[in-house]
Structure 1
Amino acid sequence: MSRAAGPFDVARSPFPPGISLIEASAGTGKTFNIAMSVVRLLLEQDAAGQPIVSGLGGILVVTFTNAATEELVTRVRRMLQLAHEVWSGALYAKSNSEIEILRELANGREPWAATRAQEALRALDALAVFTIHGFCKRVLDEFALESGAPFSMELLDDPTPLIEEAMFDWWRRTFYIDPALAAWAVHRQWSPLSFVQDYAMWRRWPDAVLDPMIRLSEARSVLTTVAKRMLDVWSPDSLRGTAAAVKWNKGAVLATEDGLASLDALIQEARAGSLAAMQGLAGALNIDALQAKANKVGKQNRATADGIADWPIAVAATALAAAIQQLVLAVRADCLQDVDDRVRTLKRERSLMGFDDLLGQLHAVLAAQGSEGLLARAIRQQFQAALIDEFQDTDSHQFHVFRIAFAGQPLFLIGDPKQAIYAFRGADVRAYLEAARQASHRYSLEFNFRSTPPMVQAVNALFSRSTAPFVEPEIAFHPATARNFDPNPKGVAGSHGLHWLFVPPDTRNGNSVPTPIGQARTLLFRACASRIASYIKQEVPPGRIAVLVRKGFEGVEMVQVLAEAGVRSVVSGLGDVMQSLEMAELQRVLEAIAVPRDPSRVRAALATTLWGATHEDLVRLASPEGEREWEEILTEVASLRELWATQGTLQLLERLFESRAVVSRYLTYTDGDRRLTNLRHAQELLHGAAEQDALSIEGTLRWLDAARREPAETRGVRELRLESDDDAVQIVTVHRSKGLEYDLVFCPTLWGVRRVEPDAPVLVHEQGRVVYDHGSPRLAERTAQAERERLAEDCRLVYVALTRARFRTYVAWGPIGNAPNGSEQSALSWLLFDGAAAPDRDGPAAVADQLRAAPDAWQGMLRSLVDAHPSLMALDMVDTWQPIAPVAAAPQAPPLTGHARQLPSVPSLRERFSTFSIASFTSLTAGVYESLRAEMSEQVARDRDAQPDATPVTTVTNDPHDFRTFPAGAVPGTVLHAIFEHAHFDGSPAAWQEIADRELLVLGFDEDEHELRTASTVRMMQRLLQAPLPGLGFALAAVPASRTRREWQFLLPLASADHVMTRQALAAVFAQHGGAHGAAYADQLRRLSFNRLHGYLTGFVDLLFEHEGRWYVVDWKSNQLGADNGAYKSSALQTVMDDHHYTLQYHLYLVAAHRFLAQRVPDYDYDTHIGGAAYAFLRGFADASVDGTGWFVHRPPAALIRALSAALGA
């Protein structure tokens, strides 16, 4: 049992055998004490007067990172040099705290002490300072016989490729032999890489227990039995009679004949073995689902609804739902266990060992042999004492390794549980707490040498408010005592240490509600930038100011706001170029180039500084007027992909940097030298990796993603240091700020919260073990525990953030965001409202409920805290957009059309069409929209003159319930395309809602409108996918995903250089083969603006699918044609098709499909295999009461398609 903690005195505290735990709070001189302890250990003697360590090489020091090992080696060397000078008499007349400690350590033994110090300096190369993995490798290498470690093992830097290989092996073995299971995996949108994420989470902590552990074969067998029972009790007639007794709510599947028919169709698919159909049946007919759709108003209705629980079909469906869920869990459990076993086998067969394997093997050997085993005794013979730094960031395996290896010898564990913030890397603060319980001596470092008294006392006041400030009762807060009495630097007025920035509730609509997260973040970033600019004007060095953020993207936004203020800033990656802003932007641009038709990726690329689009550019591209320009950009991105594929990464980046005028643009920024240096370094790394491993485009992106995810301490890719970085405001994540200090610190987003997702797998501590729960009956209980652990780490994160400053910290708080991620769930709220004192056991929920109920009370509570400590704290309101007076004129980005920033940087259409080109439908129809708009304006003017009292055209009101009011423009249109691209037509509305909910986030609706827009979008999808295509007799819901190709790209060779394609040739084809309509449309084709084309015609078909042996092309159109349902009838849509040249578009698509199928389908025949083209005008499916609107379907005659193909050339 450990003793109570007492103050640690490096000169006087006992250095006994056994475990000594030293709690080193922030700023208390931990590194100094470790270095001085190394010197003291050299002088420690046993009862017989013999040194307890053989020399410097007999002392082991373990720390967290390679950078920390370098710092400790330097500090120990300097301390030994100082000790030798003191003990040899060279500094006899001098005195300071270090010298006095060294004199006390010698205590009359100066000559002998000087000799020991001199010997240590001569043997400095023997100083054993390692990371944990470095120590494990050293032991396994030097004591291979004692440890039983295999010889000639290759160290694996990154296990990810091995894990992916094992995952794909499992995927093939599991799904290739079971077509029904494979089809279900596709239906659920599973992929091998999605399971890799589950595996990484499970293996984060050693020995994590997998729960539940269900055998796949057993779950499959149970499902078969339960499904048979479901099919046996199915009787449409009986169910129809039973359901008739129930009063159903709108939308109930049993309320209509169509619903019963759809269920019967699912039954037939289920009889054929479809797991997706079984899932659909279970979801629709289980007891809870049916009772939720039953009307329960009135006693009779309630009784009838309650009786559903006794229906045989409902009982069977409920059992089927449970069996399907068990199968989901069994698949995941089988995957994780199988992949883990396979990874171990691959490592053994290939003589590979990862960093975690080093620790795992050493732990296994020591645990098996015990403290008196060969290996432990060999370690103690070489190292007679050990000091383990940053012990709060270890895990149970590491603690047990040191406990066994150094049993009976001095073992110092130095750390601070209040700063344990690296759980995502596998660190486990409970290892520290276990060590605290086992330690024979416990000490603490009480004096803060970093921060001034107001700063230290303000932090003391905040954390002393709560009875359990770190949630875990075993982690206590002890007020620190300041030992930094430096006066405030020039420009820092006032005595307070903690300066609150309060965001009050949003009252614009007459109600007091939390301020939206995005709005609050913008307000706070500007508030911080304004104050930073003011400090710099008062001659505070920018390099001594830091902005701490929770997430990297926040740092990017902060850089931009500071740039507006003329303040140079640098996003600190602790010297790691992989984490630089430039590498992040380059990755975003490359991901867009790799998939040029993914609108979300391209938009993300355009928004980067690297691409250089301005805000005005993005707004224009999101408007209807920007549709043609948007298509031009997509074409340009596609051409860059072609360059990448044919000439490689280096040539692509050179072209990209040249076309975007990167050098000239970047040099206009205050930190342009840093940006360009990072960018060129990133280019070298990407080119080197691609060349060395002959990587494809996808391989290069995988390498980059893996390299950026890899821990910096194992990656070794250093950022090229520039002297100018020291003169910039430092922007750093709270995690990376640990161990650093600044004069002034700004924390604009500590109120942020990322709660544990409900129903998602969780890793939690439970009765001395770690459990990975991916769906057990206790998942809800463990999710609550995971949320509590999340809050505890967030409290520790706040402590780290608030202890970085020497003089002052600005921290923001207030009612921000809505549940479940509102600031009422934040660590700051827990601290300010003392969640531990809540009367119930769920303190976090009590705090959240209290704050949510009274958003106006937040300010009063914070004001009372500040008023209680007027000399330590101050409070400012941040409720308005604050103008920023810039330090210097911020560089203005050139306009999009400027010489250096043209977007896109491609030749003009006239130049392009006069030479060999890759053309698109958009380029063929360039100029149509301008002339169409002019014609329409003239017609409207004539109509007004002729009919001044005419009834105005019906307009669309802004009702979010009505899908016809969905925003118009290029960006909303591409969002809708993305939804249909990812949706399974035969899936469930719940799956569609999940996709729509995710994709609509791009449009930035507020929370309420987002929910309504998502619902109206899903309703539109249901009507569209379930509506029979006119003249075809089937709906898209009948088309499985396996029979579709989304965003199908084609590349058609056009006529050769001596036989070009012209608009007259196109018109002639339609006039000759298109009947009366074709002749009329030919006149419109002759008015197109292009003259002659040769080269290639490219395009992307939204959907190509096959149904019953025939192929169809589909295009989604989001055109806003008005509120009149008649505008979306097929007869009216013909005019729209012609005016926008969609008619030409679908004919070109069918030519592409015609040529494609002719090469791949045996005995291909157009009339047999081509079903036609279908254009879905999405707003035509908004009204459920109107049938037959929204679809335009046509199948041109074979003669027209063959003639058009011939006119295009081959």
Structure 2
Amino acid sequence: MITTIPKSINVTTIPLSGKILIEASAGTGKTFSLTILYIRLLLGITNHVKYKKGLLIKEILVVTFTEHTRAELEIRIKTYIKIFKTACIKKYSNNYVLSKLLSKITDFPKTIDILSKAENSIHELSIYTIHGFCYKILKLNKFNSELMLQNKILKHTYPLYLKISIKFWKYYFAFLSLDITSILLEYFNNPKTLLKEILPLLNKTQLISKLTKTKRKNIVQEYYILIKKIKLFKQKWANYSHLIHSEIIKTNVNKRIYTKSNLKRWINNITAWATQKQTKNFFIPSELKYFRYSFIIKKTTSEKILDDKFFKFIDTFLDSKFSLKEIFIIDASLEIKAMFMQEKIKNRYFEYDDLITFCWNMVNKNNFNISQTILKKYPVALIDEFQDTNNKQYNIFKKIYKKENLLILISDPKQAIYSFSGADITSYLQAKSNIKNQYFLDTNWRSSPKIINSINLLFSRLKNPFLTKNITFYPVKSSRINKTTKFEVNGKNQPALRFLLNKNKNISINEYKEWISITTAKYISYWISSGIKGNATITISNKVRTVNFSDIAIIVRNNLEAKTIQLELTKLNIQSLYLTSKNNIFQSKEILEILWILQAILNPNIERLLKRAMSTNIMSKNTKEIISIPNNHSYWIKLSQEFNQYLIFWNNYGILYVIQQLIINYNISNNNNLLHNFSPNIKNILYIGELLEEKSITIKNKFLLINWLKKNITQDFYLTKPKYIKPNYEKNNYIKIVSIHKSKGLEYPITIIPFATITFNKTVSTVEKICFNLNNTKIKKQKTLKIEKHKFSEDIRLLYVALTRSIIHCSIGISLAQTITQKKKIQKEKSKFKINVLRYIIQSGKNHISTKKLYTELSILKKNKNIEIISEIPNIIKKNFQIPTLNTNSQSLMHYQVSRKFNYNYNFTSYSQLKKNIKPSTMYSTLNTKKLFELNVKKKHCFENKILTPHTFPSGKIYGTLLHKILKNISFHKSINSNWLLKKLSEYNLDKRWCLILKNWMYSILYKNLDKNYNLRLSKLDSKNYIKELKFLLPIKKKLTALKLNNIFQTHQCSSLENKLCFHPIQGILSGSIDLVFLWKTKYFLVDYKSNWIGNSNQSYSQQNIKKIIKKHHYNFQLQLYSLVLHRYLKQHIKNYSFYNHFGGTYILFIRSINEIPSQNGIFYSIPNIEIIKKLEQIF
């Protein structure tokens, strides 16, 4: 470790050799400095002989961590090469740094020639993101290059993680009792909330690797251990409760707290809990804290309680951790990550971070040639945003650039805020400790002197403001060019920092949020209005202009804070845009209304669909008009004609034209008022039209197009490819709202941080504790304190980033009150870091939660002329900018009274839904854990005492699905994997003894002779000659009725239906899948597996019996539909196709009866009726 005091840097003279670390505070010209260093290397302006000749543009490697920064660096380097070339031609520059660099030039013609060549070869710039660099390096190695080509990049890991989380959730809960399940559901109510919590851990492969080596607890065993503890305590309390009152009274305890009524109530509540017959969960009465030994001692003047053993026992009991959350998170993280890795291997996926791992493995294998190849290609490297590195990334460069090889690292550890994406501040600090040449940039070129001095004052009042030894705050100087920078309103110079103070000591969080949002909105309204009148101005670089929307940015932590502030801005007619938001168009309110309208256009004579379309806010009909549709014949005819006309437009001009006509006909304006939440947004509607028009090129069938649209609406957001809504405003007519993380690197003349007093007080999550413990295994004492310190330090860095975005003015919300969330936190845990970080900084590092202390410190800050404390909104703002009231008369609200809760009734059906006469369900179904558990409990032991055979295998839809899964996944030629089969049995909570039975059963099916004449067995099929689960979609050409189908089958007695089909008329799409389609000899066959339980023996599956079942369940109708699908498929794929020559027939296999006994029981073979197929072709 090297102890180094960083020096102030001059980028034109700094020696360029070995490893160099440059720390650049916010606004100090980090990118500009990197560009100057780049030009020096290009021209050979360096003391090192190795680089005296200068480097080619392709030899200077620049690496950063985001695509946005990479693009910005590329533009800046191109620009400054051109600017410096012009300066060399003129031999003059008004830029102070460039003029210093000019003084280093001895041969101007040569320099101009080098810069001209650099401009001409600018396309060879070697600027990469860390992932782009690793990919480039891997391609240098032939083996790795081939490896990458064989794999597919997994751009978005979330969908796969979510899919696996749902699967994990299902099988994990299947083994648990309802009591444990209930406890776990209190932590996470579905797989999605679980994944949200553990995703940061899943993304840290090194930590997962460490976690696999730790000893895991069994969640069931831990549950019973904790329940036993609670039962033991209850027993002791029951034995001791009659003495507690007298023991407390004997002490000099505070009688205002321990009144007779309080004691009686507390003891009764606890005793009632302790005497409960059953203990199933970890509930502990809150009143028990009053009987802790430590609590009583604080509230009494006595040195000792007469009999303190039991009260100390209460202390020990309450200090125990009654939770299964950490065990569950660890189990989930390890299992989901393992399943994720299996999916990656199976599908040949690789992630972007895998590129770093591959690259490190390649470089780390002491392969001198590879390092030398990289070094020869890139003799120097400049790493930007180095504080966002991690150990593996740094080690790659450390391995390549050894000794005197130039490696320049540019960073600001005070802005290290991306731990959630894998950045590790600890890795940075370790790297820093091994670098001798350390510098820092000491001049802020961005902000006004007042802003700079104010931030210097805030952070310089603490010796170690960032709580980390090697993250030092160096006060920065201001640039002379910003001396005249100012913000004036009505001739009054505005302060650099304005604290908007709420003095209400008892205000709740929600009340504070409302107050600060209103205050912020009024100030913005005042500034913008004054700017329009010419009374609010900004002066930058001696240029004066009026304040407008684009000058103001509101900095928040998350989407919820953004929405809170947007609501108040909207009330004052101020448009705003949350820049961090990526709203999926498929989740917009307009998309569902467009779907309903298009469904009505395709079915203009269906009253239900027409009414629903008219109820949309796009068509804007009120309730009275909609209700009157059936009774007003002329109005009904008019609407039907209108919708028929839209269908004609759709056929002739396309779907976008239809949507444009709707906008014209219904006079939809460009409305984006948050208060009128149902007002359609014209730009969203047009964007939807564009998407549908584009999709209609590949999906020509209108019903299939509607189905595609509905699928994207109803599916989970992360399971579809998102289409993000484009911003709805012109560049300069809205207030920017941006998250702290997205604001990093950006600057705004005026900023507001409204929620600073509540944003930075998040408690440490269970996952954060796990991550910290894995990273700090050597720490044994005060772990909780160190975890909190680690989290608190990151929150201070977030505050620093937020404060340093401003050029001229920053308003910050703050409250004297201790918020509700903070109060609860203090009661639960003894923490050194129990206050909000804004308070911590203001109070000079004092962590006392004291209103008086905060007010005193604010008063001290107020003495600085650059800082203002405002606790009352000025009268001028109150007087001139009142919030407009909404017009709420009944007439104007008439069309809003229609309920927004409609079911999706688009007709997308299947054979099974038709025969059951049920409405199809298209909504994304979430897993009902409780139902799953109850089902498993019922089934778990019911076959324990029976002989295990295919006939005694559990029946029902769920177990039928299992059998179909097995048949789908097993190979027809290889042995069945017992481990895989055991896993499937465990997922369905079935006894492992079924494994051997199922294997033999499946072999019987595969080797069964289906046709003795042809010696047809599934095991003999070539893998190229069969398809499992052939999925199909059949668009319904015209309205399909049960009568129409019944008549088709009635005319052909051999295929008549015993029970008539009965279902509502439908129009749309029929979907399904055929279990097996195969080619044998020269003909094609289809197979449908049935797991129906008919009886206890093979005789129950005689031809006579199975024919009855086939008629009863309409399986003959199903076979005809499947035959239609196969017939159509073969017509498209076989030249000179003939039904009689190529269609071999259909099989229904009742698999429970199929075994080694030489019998045809359970096997139903038939050749479909070609006449019925032809008639069905007219429908589908």
TM bucket, shorter chain: 0.5 to 0.7
Shift of 1:452: 2.1
2:455 matches 1:459: yes
Change (3 A) 1:661 1:789: farther
Query: 2: distance between equivalents of 1:663 and 1:37?
Result: 55
Query: 2: distance between equivalents of 1:416 and 1:571?
Result: 26
Query: 2: distance between equivalents of 1:426 and 1:738?
Result: 17
Shift of 1:419: 1.8
Shift of 1:195: 3.0
Does structure 1 retain, via aligned residues, the 8 Å contact 2:557–2:759? no
Query: 1: distance between equivalents of 2:97 and 2:401?
Result: 29
Does structure 1 retain, via aligned residues, the 8 Å contact 2:750–2:807? yes
Query: 1: distance between equivalents of 2:720 and 2:880?
Result: 37
Match of 1:875 in 2: 869
Query: 2: distance between equivalents of 1:491 and 1:579?
Result: 40
Shift of 1:118: 2.7
Does structure 1 retain, via aligned residues, the 8 Å contact 2:413–2:425? yes
Cα deviation per residue 1:265-306 (whole Å; 9 max; x = unaligned)? x3xxxxxxxxxx5446x96999999989x999999x987895
User: Counterpart of 1:339 in structure 2: which amino acid?
Assistant: I
Shift of 1:380: 1.7
Shift of 1:307: 5.4
Match of 1:344 in 2: 341
Match of 1:127 in 2: 125
User: Counterpart of 2:896 in structure 1: which amino acid?
Assistant: L
Does structure 2 retain, via aligned residues, the 8 Å contact 1:515–1:816? no
Does structure 2 retain, via aligned residues, the 8 Å contact 1:253–1:284? no
Does structure 2 retain, via aligned residues, the 8 Å contact 1:175–1:181? no
Cα deviation per residue 1:342-374 (whole Å; 9 max; x = unaligned)? 2122212211011222223323443x325x544
User: Counterpart of 2:515 in structure 1: which amino acid?
Assistant: A
2:476 matches 1:471: no
Does structure 1 retain, via aligned residues, the 8 Å contact 2:839–2:854? no
Match of 1:201 in 2: 200
Match of 2:426 in 1: 430
Match of 1:664 in 2: 669
Matches within 5 A, 1:648-1047: 663-664=668-669, 666=671, 676-677=682-683, 680-681=686-687, 700=713, 703-704=716-717, 719=726, 724-757=730-763, 760-763=766-769, 769=775, 781-821=782-822, 825-835=835-845, 846-849=846-849, 851-852=850-851, 854=852, 858-867=854-863, 869-870=864-865, 872-878=866-872, 895=888, 897-898=890-891, 902-905=895-898
Match of 1:1141 in 2: none
Shift of 1:158: 1.0
Change (3 A) 1:402 1:677: farther
Task: Give 5+ residue unaligned stretches, structure 2.
Answer: 247-262, 536-545, 598-615, 623-642, 648-654, 824-832, 901-927, 935-988, 990-1063, 1066-1111, 1114-1180
Query: 2: distance between equivalents of 1:435 and 1:589?
Result: 56
Does structure 1 retain, via aligned residues, the 8 Å contact 2:385–2:411? yes
Shift of 1:255: 8.8
Matches within 5 A, 1:80-95: 80-87=81-88, 90-92=89-91
Shift of 1:177: 5.0
Change (3 A) 1:433 1:259: closer
Shifted more, 37-46 versus 181-190: the winner is 181-190
Matches within 5 A, 1:488-499: 488=485, 491-492=488-489, 493-494=491-492, 497-499=495-497
Cα deviation per residue 1:1006-1029 (whole Å; 9 max; x = unaligned)? xxxxxxxxxxxxxxxxxxxxxxxx
Query: 2: distance between equivalents of 1:786 and 1:662?
Result: 58
Does structure 2 retain, via aligned residues, the 8 Å contact 1:563–1:890? no
1:821 match: secondary structure: helix
Counterpart among 133, 136, 145 of residue 134 in structure 2: 136
Counterpart among 132, 157, 182 of residue 159 in structure 1: 157
Query: 2: distance between equivalents of 1:80 and 1:769?
Result: 44
Shift of 1:706: 7.0
Change (3 A) 1:398 1:116: same
Query: 1: distance between equivalents of 2:452 and 2:369?
Result: 49
Does structure 2 retain, via aligned residues, the 8 Å contact 1:64–1:389? yes
Task: Give 5+ residue unaligned stretches, structure 1.
Answer: 267-276, 594-609, 618-642, 709-714, 836-845, 908-980, 988-1041, 1043-1094, 1097-1158, 1161-1210
Matches within 5 A, 1:1051-1090: none
Query: 1: distance between equivalents of 2:758 and 2:229?
Result: 49
Change (3 A) 1:706 1:733: farther
Change (3 A) 1:260 1:464: closer
2:412 matches 1:416: yes
2:482 match: secondary structure: coil
Shift of 1:668: 8.0
Shift of 1:62: 1.6
2:440 match: secondary structure: strand
Query: 2: distance between equivalents of 1:136 and 1:491?
Result: 50
Does structure 2 retain, via aligned residues, the 8 Å contact 1:208–1:770? no
Query: 1: distance between equivalents of 2:834 and 2:595?
Result: 36
Cα deviation per residue 1:1157-1178 (whole Å; 9 max; x = unaligned)? xx99xxxxxxxxxxxxxxxxxx
Match of 2:1100 in 1: none
Query: 2: distance between equivalents of 1:675 and 1:686?
Result: 17
Change (3 A) 1:336 1:133: same
Cα deviation per residue 1:1131-1180 (whole Å; 9 max; x = unaligned)? xxxxxxxxxxxxxxxxxxxxxxxxxxxx99xxxxxxxxxxxxxxxxxxxx
Does structure 2 retain, via aligned residues, the 8 Å contact 1:136–1:362? yes
**TM-score (norm: length of structure 2):** 0.58
Match of 2:99 in 1: 100
Shift of 1:28: 1.6
2:445 matches 1:444: no
Shift of 1:565: 3.8
Query: 1: distance between equivalents of 2:681 and 2:756?
Result: 28
Change (3 A) 1:790 1:186: closer
Cα deviation per residue 1:154-183 (whole Å; 9 max; x = unaligned)? 110111222233334434444435566885
2:41 matches 1:34: no
Change (3 A) 1:65 1:717: farther
Cα deviation per residue 1:427-455 (whole Å; 9 max; x = unaligned)? 22333322221223111111211122222
Query: 1: distance between equivalents of 2:473 and 2:562?
Result: 30
Match of 1:487 in 2: 484
User: Counterpart of 2:202 in structure 1: which amino acid?
Assistant: R
Query: 1: distance between equivalents of 2:286 and 2:736?
Result: 58
Change (3 A) 1:497 1:384: farther
Which has more radius of gyration?
2
Cα deviation per residue 1:1106-1134 (whole Å; 9 max; x = unaligned)? xxxxxxxxxxxxxxxxxxxxxxxxxxxxx
2:78 matches 1:77: yes
Change (3 A) 1:4 1:253: closer
Query: 1: distance between equivalents of 2:37 and 2:428?
Result: 20
Shift of 1:39: 1.6
Query: 1: distance between equivalents of 2:442 and 2:234?
Result: 77
2:527 matches 1:551: no
Shift of 1:211: 6.7
Change (3 A) 1:128 1:702: farther
Shift of 1:503: 2.0
- Please, what is the CA RMSD of the aligned residues? 5.8
Does structure 1 retain, via aligned residues, the 8 Å contact 2:562–2:737? yes
Matches within 5 A, 1:1106-1121: none
Shift of 1:213: 7.4
- Give aligned pairs, total: 808
Cα deviation per residue 1:911-956 (whole Å; 9 max; x = unaligned)? xxxxxxxxxxxxxxxxxxxxxxxxxxxxxxxxxxxxxxxxxxxxxx
Query: 1: distance between equivalents of 2:234 and 2:460?
Result: 67
Does structure 1 retain, via aligned residues, the 8 Å contact 2:241–2:267? no
Query: 1: distance between equivalents of 2:370 and 2:205?
Result: 21
Does structure 2 retain, via aligned residues, the 8 Å contact 1:504–1:515? no
Shift of 1:666: 0.4
Matches within 5 A, 1:490-639: 491-492=488-489, 493-494=491-492, 497-506=495-504, 516-536=511-531, 537=533, 538=535, 539-573=546-580, 577-578=582-583
Cα deviation per residue 1:1079-1125 (whole Å; 9 max; x = unaligned)? xxxxxxxxxxxxxxxx99xxxxxxxxxxxxxxxxxxxxxxxxxxxxx
